[in-house]
Structure 1
Amino acid sequence: MLKFVKGPLESIEGVAIYPIISLLIFFIFFTALFWWVFTAKKDYIKKVSDIPLELDEENTMEFNQKENR
């Protein structure tokens, strides 16, 4: 399988830079994500983590109101 990819890519001049760029993007993204996780305010994390529960409570209340009609 690799021979089908490797052959045509060898004919492209400067193709070696693409894996380096990909690795840099990967490393920078996860470094930034790691930094954000440890510097995010705990109040914000708590607020965002409660969103699914709040939406579920709202949907339950709406469903109960429709049943009572």
Structure 2
Amino acid sequence: MLKFVKGPLESIEGVSIYPIISLLIFFIFFTALFWWVFTAKKEYINKVSKLPLEIEEDETKFSAETTN
């Protein structure tokens, strides 16, 4: 299977830079995400974690008000 991918790519000049670039993007993204997770304020995390529940409560209140 690798022969079908590797063969045509070997004929392209400078193609070896793309795996390096993709690895750098991957590493930088997850390093930044890791840094953000550990430096995020606890109040913000608690507020965001409760958002789905608040929306659900608002929807149930709205549906209860419209049925009455």
The TM-score range, normalised by the shorter chain, is over 0.9
Aligned residue pairs: how many? 68
Match of residue 38 from structure 1 = 38
Match of residue 49 from structure 1 = 49
What is the rounded CA distance, in whole Å, between the counterparts of 1:6 and 1:45 in structure 2? 45
2:28 maps to a residue whose letter is: I
What is the rounded CA distance, in whole Å, between the counterparts of 1:27 and 1:55 in structure 2? 35
Q: Gapped runs of 5+ residues in structure 2?
A: none
What is the rounded CA distance, in whole Å, between the counterparts of 1:6 and 1:66 in structure 2? 62
Q: After the TM superposition, which segments of 4 or more aligned residues of structure 1 sit over 6 Å from their partners?
A: none
Deviation at 1:10, TM superposition (A): 0.5
C-alpha RMSD over aligned residues: 0.8
1:39 maps to a residue whose letter is: T
What is the rounded CA distance, in whole Å, between the counterparts of 1:63 and 1:36 in structure 2? 37
